[in-house]
Amino acid sequence: MKDILKMVVVLTLICAVSGLTLAAVYDVTKGPIEYARLKNVKEPAVKAVLSGYDNDPIKDRVQIPIGTDKKGKPVNLVVFPAKKGGKTFAVAFEGAGSGYGGNIGVMVGFNLADNNISGISIVGHSETPGLGARITETQFTDSFKGKSLAKELTTDDINALSGATLSSKGSVAAVNQARGLLEKYRDKIVQGG
């Protein structure tokens, strides 16, 4: 009996100490992990769509709550602001639209003053290689540059890919979704930056 008690006590103690220590480590590393992840995963796309800034858009990111997912967890829009001399002149964030093979994720950069698109970069897709996957090529993405935000884009506005209508449409839909988010949360996006 005494043996069993000792076993239970020792194991419980070890588990408790381990749990507490890990919770503490998790708490300390939470911030740096999020930063490191965004820095490695998102920064290349952010760099591709924004230019001329002197801040660290990853570090200055702004989280804007935009609703909840199926399980009721809050979903945040992560906005990367580009600043010069401390003033935000452009922002970048992601939009998504459905293409031929699944969702297309697009990082879209917006010039706030000129109210146009500073650039886009495809961050995730599962389109057909050689066909729809050409949406990642610059001759496609560059055709979004400088487009006005006054109205929604259509495939006529850009250099749509022949033979990959759905992929082109999906990319445009993703950009339009991002544009919609900018309209809806403009105050918060600009203020936050």
For β-strands 116-124 and 87-98, DSSP reports them as unpaired
Q: Cβ closer to other proteins: 31 or 52?
A: 31
Give the SS3 label for residue 75.
Answer: strand
**Beta carbon of residue 17, minimum distance to other proteins (angstroms, whole number):** 8
Site membership for other proteins, residue 14 (CB under 8 A): yes
User: Does residue 86 come out as left (phi exceeding 0), alpha (psi in the -120 to 50 range) or beta?
Assistant: left
Q: How many of the chain's residues bind other proteins (CB under 8 A)?
A: 21
**Beta carbon of residue 5, minimum distance to other proteins (angstroms, whole number):** 10
Site membership for other proteins, residue 26 (CB under 8 A): yes
Site membership for other proteins, residue 29 (CB under 8 A): yes
> What phi, psi does 126 have (nearest 5°)?
-135, 50
CB 46 within 8 A of CB 58: yes
Structure tokens at 96: 């998504």
The residues binding other proteins (CB under 8 A) are 3, 6-7, 10-11, 14-15, 18-19, 21-22, 25-26, 29, 32-33, 36-37, 39-40, 129
